[in-house]
Chain A
Amino acid sequence: MEAMTSLPLMTLMQLLFDTLLGFALLWLGWRALASPDLFQAIVLFIAFGLLMAIVWVRLDAPDVALAEAAIGAGLTGALLLTTLARLEAKNRSKSALEKKHKVWLMTENVKLKTASFLWLMVILMLLVSGLVYAVLTLQEQTFELQMLVSKNLESSGVSNPVTAVLLNFRGYDTLLEMSVLLLALLGVWSFGGIPKPHESLPGPVLNMLSRLLIPLLIIVAGYFLWVGSDAPGGAFQGGSVLGAAGVLLLLVGWRLCIRFVGLPLRIILVFGLGVFVSAAVVLIFLGRQFMEYPPSVAGALILLIEAAATLSIGITLAALFLVGRPEFRRHK
């Protein structure tokens, strides 16, 4: 009797929770876009990311939830906040280059108001209709795909289906994601001459917090990497936690020793992608397809690739936070 009454109550509560969550997400997204104050918009965006992570948990996708919370809310929020600090520093400084830039921006603004608005609307409408079409033509049940994954899980070398898909069955997706991240860093490094905001010394509290948290973050990154083979976790989750440790180090004023800023840093940045591509290419020479891991060594290969990827992703994200290429040729 008790089970019969408690079951509909439970689903009703879940429905209520999901509805509230959905509306809160939409409201936060709208407020973040419409807020005239940039700082407020960023804080709203971080809150949006955290709620989004809960949505992924509700959709039974803890892997995505972890990545969303760490990258979508945490690291992107930190990146946006430093960008804001640099924008404000830039507005204060009055170099010649700065003025030229401002004029360019203003003319851009005027143009946008008159003609480009219509074009933007057309492009947006195309994008929206494309997305609607994609959603409408989506198969309701992708049961065959699930069956396909679980049938071949044994030969993938790992027991977590998400890792099996990301690193083995559709490894090139992850490969391309990692190259996108590397390209983003190259793009950031290509912009020079961004004024640095005034850096204040970290107080005793931030110092102590970093001393306690950074070792813990490194352990958690290693845990995510290891646990990814049979539970939610993996290279991107571990890498973003490692990146958070890097951001914290940069915040307390730690800088990479000048000896390591040149070639050693670059080697670490491309290490993950390098290991991934070389593993795939070596397999071709051994008479297999590109990225076709032999089942007997697939587990070890995936762990190797993920370990390299975690390191590279973490260092790349921390380097993104630094904004601008670390200088190492100043004395030449």
Chain B
Amino acid sequence: MLLSEFFTVILLLAGAFFFLAGTVGLLRFPDVYTRLHALTKADNVGLGLMVLGLALQAESWAMTGKLILIWLCVLLSSASVAHLIANAARKKGIEPWKQ
């Protein structure tokens, strides 16, 4: 196995772990704010790791650029959408969870 393939596998597995953590958070956390927090943070990192892993296998620099562009777009939109959902929930009067 080539060194780049080895790193790709490691990075993809690490990305999958973050996605799993985000999903577990989405299912287990008590209210909308904490769920958004778990989902967006973990998935952004997870996707970043996956994009890095795939970029190692890319055939051209253009492909690498596209992959990174996808990650940046998702970062931008998921952060903004998380804020919009949380804001809408707050306006609706949903109280943050307090232990």
Contacts and interface: CB of A to CB of B under 8 A. Distances in A.
Interface string B74-96: 00110010011001000000000
Interface string B41-71: 0000000000000000000000000000000
B73 interface: yes
A223 to B, nearest CB: 11
B77 A206 contact: no
B59 to A, nearest CB: 14
Interface string A202-235: 0101101100110010000000000000000000
Contacts, number: 16
B73 A206 contact: no
A205 B83 contact: yes
B76 A213 contact: yes
Helix, strand, loop or mixed for chain B's interface?
A: helix
A232 to B, nearest CB: 13
Contact of A203 (B76, B77, B87): B87
A216 B80 contact: no
Contacts of A213: 76-77
Q: Which of A203, A208, A209 has the most CB of B within 10 A?
A: A209
B73 A209 contact: no
A224 to B, nearest CB: 13
A252 to B, nearest CB: 12
A208 B73 CA distance: 13
A53 to B, nearest CB: 15
A206 B84 contact: yes
Contacts of B84: 203, 205-206
A205 B77 CA distance: 10
A29 B73 CA distance: 28
B77 A209 contact: yes
Contacts of B76: 209, 212-213
Contacts of B80: 205-206, 208-209
A206 B76 CA distance: 11
A206 B84 CA distance: 8
Contacts of B83: 205
A184 B25 CA distance: 42
Contacts of A209: 76-77, 80
Interface of A: 203, 205-206, 208-209, 212-213, 216
Interface of B: 73, 76-77, 80, 83-84, 87
Given A203-B87, A205-B84, A209-B80, 13 more contacts: A203-B84, A205-B80, A205-B83, A205-B87, A206-B80, A206-B84, A208-B80, A209-B76, A209-B77, A212-B76, A213-B76, A213-B77, A216-B73
